[in-house]
A and B are shown apart, each in its own frame.
Chain A
Amino acid sequence: MDWTKQIGRYVLVMVLQVLLFNQLQLWGICHPYIYVLCLLMMPITLPHSMDMLLGAAAGLVMDICCNSLGIHTAACILLMFIRPYLLGLIVNDKDRLNEQISLRAVGMEAFAKYVVILVLVHHLTVFLLAAWSWSHIGFVLLETLVSSIFTISLIIAYNMLRYR
């Protein structure tokens, strides 16, 4: 996998995230974090600990842009930690995955499971940590649901267009 391509995509997605998606004001409950796209689409050939370090770096950059020091970092590390285990559970035939998980290689069902579970985990972690208490739990769950639907749709749409 071409790393310049990965980094180019990351920069583009972060610009969109900060300038467009962070400014969205949809009833105050929709805060999609589409930058997780880059983490989900990262090659699976790296050592697991390297994966988590890259996740931490991406989370820290996002935190600096949103004044939420540590929150996205923690969520991204968690996401990168469970990613290989989840792949092992969802994809039975590992040979079909060569370097990168793609819609074409694993099929719609497995790919959708992969994206939905990881995005839900990430968004729920972010909103729970941002609330920093259980007293807003109803609001946090609603926020997670609405924002995740937005993020998941965008990620799957991107993959349908990109890897047709």
Chain B
Amino acid sequence: MQNLLKILLRYSNFLVFIALEVAAFMLITFNNAYPRSSIFSTANSVVAWQHEVVSDICGYFSLRSQNELLAEENVALRNQISTLDSVAETSMMHYASAKVVQMTTDELNNYITINRGSKDGIRRGQGVRNSEGVVGIVRTVGQNYSVVLPIISTRSNLSCRFAKNDYLGTLKWDGKDSRFAQLADIAAHMVVNPGDTIVTSGLSPVFPEGIPVGIVENSVLKEGDSYYTIRIRLQTNFKRLKYVEVVQNAHQQELEELTDGLD
């Protein structure tokens, strides 16, 4: 017994080290699997508020370009009103506008913090878009702020389809350039031309059908491969993202409960 105590005392520093590292790795795996704890992220009000002050100050320097964007969006919206065809579907979707408080674009796992939280009806899993196209999916929700996992993250998967023939694929990101993403699961028999438009599939309750995602930049079919490697030029310019809209599907909870029951 005394010997055991001696050994424990002698290696106590090493044991403390192992215990602390185990705790840290539990945090990492927990965060990778269930990224819900808003206190330990930038959805935390104190950290987000600090970023908001910075972004408010920097915001003055891009007012002109933001105005141009808003004007463009106005025109596009007016055009949409005149061509609204399915009123039923749009009434199911609500949009909540939000401001980007903080974001990264050049890491492997990027994230965006927005200034809307559970108080404003934001829930985990809701889609986020802006006037140009798809932005990402809400990942962590705090009371006043939320963190969005953008499509330019190596952990992101987005179901998309070709606008021309409804052929389905999955959008992924290789971690290199925030302007381009990759479309997987497009079989070799399909004809892919540069310039083809990719839109959201509407197969999940996260996004309505037909939100712009990107345009085919180039496609490669290697000898012996049964799937294309397709490079997509994203519609959304992440480098100048300032305002976004959160898509709130009135039936999302019901749809998710239905599919959860299948497992």
- Do A and B belong to a common assembly? yes
B167 at interface (Cβ–Cβ under 8 A)?
Answer: no
Query: Which A residues lie within 8 Å of B61 (CB)?
Result: none
Whether the Cβ atoms of B175 and A139 lie closer than 8 Å is: yes
Interchain CA distance A49-B23 in the complex, whole Å = 15
Whether the Cβ atoms of B107 and A77 lie closer than 8 Å is: no
Interchain CA distance A100-B219 in the complex, whole Å = 58
Per-residue contact bits, chain B 55-70, to A (CB 8 Å; 1 contact, 0 not): 0000000000000000
Whether the Cβ atoms of B108 and A77 lie closer than 8 Å is: no
Interchain CA distance A19-B54 in the complex, whole Å = 8
Per-residue contact bits, chain B 18-51, to A (CB 8 Å; 1 contact, 0 not): 0011011111111110000101111010010010
Indicate whether A131 sits within 8 Å of B108 (C-beta atoms), given known contacts A73-B27, A77-B17: yes
Query: Which B residues lie within 8 Å of A31 (CB)?
Result: 107
Interchain CA distance A81-B17 in the complex, whole Å = 7
Q: How many residues of A contact B (CB 8 A)?
A: 34
Interchain CA distance A27-B107 in the complex, whole Å = 10
Query: Which B residues lie within 8 Å of A64 (CB)?
Result: 39-42, 44, 47
Query: Which A residues lie within 8 Å of B39 (CB)?
Result: 64
A112 at interface (Cβ–Cβ under 8 A)?
Answer: no
Interchain CA distance A139-B107 in the complex, whole Å = 11
Specify the main secondary structure of chain A where it touches its partner. helix
Query: Which A residues lie within 8 Å of B154 (CB)?
Result: 136
Of all chain A residues, the one with the shortest Cβ separation from B39 is A64
Whether the Cβ atoms of A69 and B40 lie closer than 8 Å is: yes
Query: Which B residues lie within 8 Å of A66 (CB)?
Result: 42
Query: Which A residues lie within 8 Å of B108 (CB)?
Result: 130-131, 136, 139
Whether the Cβ atoms of B24 and A56 lie closer than 8 Å is: yes
Whether the Cβ atoms of B32 and A132 lie closer than 8 Å is: yes
Whether the Cβ atoms of B31 and A70 lie closer than 8 Å is: yes
B81 at interface (Cβ–Cβ under 8 A)?
Answer: no
Whether the Cβ atoms of A77 and B42 lie closer than 8 Å is: no
Whether the Cβ atoms of B16 and A49 lie closer than 8 Å is: yes
Whether the Cβ atoms of A48 and B107 lie closer than 8 Å is: no
B47 touches which one: A65, A130, A132 (CB < 8 A)?
A65
Within 8 A of B (CB), among A66-103: 66-71, 73-74, 77-78, 81
B106 touches which one: A25, A59, A81 (CB < 8 A)?
A25
Whether the Cβ atoms of B109 and A130 lie closer than 8 Å is: yes
Q: How far is the CB of B58 from chain A (nearest CB, A)?
A: 9
Within 8 A of B (CB), among A22-72: 25, 27-29, 31, 48-49, 52-53, 56, 59-60, 63-71
Of all chain B residues, the one with the shortest Cβ separation from A74 is B24
B13 at interface (Cβ–Cβ under 8 A)?
Answer: yes
Query: Which A residues lie within 8 Å of B105 (CB)?
Result: 25, 28
Indicate whether A67 sits within 8 Å of B175 (C-beta atoms), given known contacts A49-B16, A52-B20, A73-B24: no
Query: Which B residues lie within 8 Å of A25 (CB)?
Result: 105-106
Q: How far is the CB of B41 from chain A (nearest CB, A)?
A: 5
Q: Which 7 A-B pairs have the closest CB atoms?
A: A28-B106, A70-B27, A70-B28, A74-B24, A69-B31, A49-B16, A73-B24
12 contacts between A and B (CB under 8 A): A19-B54, A28-B106, A53-B16, A56-B24, A64-B40, A64-B42, A64-B47, A70-B24, A70-B31, A71-B28, A77-B24, A78-B21
